[in-house]
């Protein structure tokens, strides 16, 4: 399978524990995105990497959240001191580079997501 893969698919944890999610993008994609999706809502942007550089973070990404992409390939999203409000599906997506400024190819390729339940 050469699509975006995420691990684990499901995580149940107790409030206050730390959790880490991993995302492996499509190999030739240099852009990687994290989104969060809660029940009945559309995905919300969290953060974005171009290669290993984290270029934008949403205000949704509190200090308890940290994302890395150390070698410009896979990425991790860590949530420290989890709260019940962190329960959600965490989606990873990747994309090809855009072709010149102002030209957006548009397609993000999404993984199946990592579902977090905080008890």
Chain residues in the site for other proteins (CB under 8 A): 3-4, 31, 33, 40-45, 48, 50, 55-56, 91, 93, 95, 97-98, 100-108, 110-113
> CB-based contacts of 51: which residues, under 8 Å, 6+ apart?
30, 69, 72
CA 115/CA 101 separation, integer angstroms: 35
| CB 75 to other proteins: min, Å | 14
For 31, 89, 95, the CA distances from 116, given in Å and listed in that order, are: 24, 6, 24
CA neighbor of 115 nearest in space, from 6, 21, 10: 10
Q: How far is the CB of 109 from other proteins (least distance, A)?
A: 8
* Closer CB to other proteins, 7 or 80, in the complex: 7
42 vs 85, beta carbon nearer other proteins:
42
In the complex with other proteins, the residue whose CB is nearer, 85 or 100, is 100
Least distance to other proteins, CB of residue 69, Å: 13
Least distance in Å: CB of 62 to other proteins?
A: 19
Q: Which is nearer to other proteins, 83 or 112 (CB)?
A: 112
CA distance 52 to 109: 18
Taking the C-alpha atoms of residue 80 and residue 63, their distance in angstroms, rounded to an integer, is 9
């Amino acid at each position: 399978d050469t699509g975006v893969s995420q691990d684990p698919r499901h995580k149940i944890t107790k409030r206050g524990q730390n959790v880490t999610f991993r995302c492996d993008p499509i190999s030739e994609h240099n852009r990687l995105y994290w989104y969060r999706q809660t029940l009945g809502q559309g995905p919300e942007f969290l953060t974005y990497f171009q290669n290993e550089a984290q270029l934008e973070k949403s205000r949704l990404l509190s200090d308890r959240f940290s994302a890395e992409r150390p070698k410009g390939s896979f990425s991790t999203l860590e949530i420290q001191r989890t709260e019940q409000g962190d329960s959600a599906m965490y989606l990873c997506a990747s994309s090809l580079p855009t072709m010149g400024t102002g030209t957006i190819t548009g397609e993000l390729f999404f993984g199946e997501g990592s579902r977090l339940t905080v008890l």
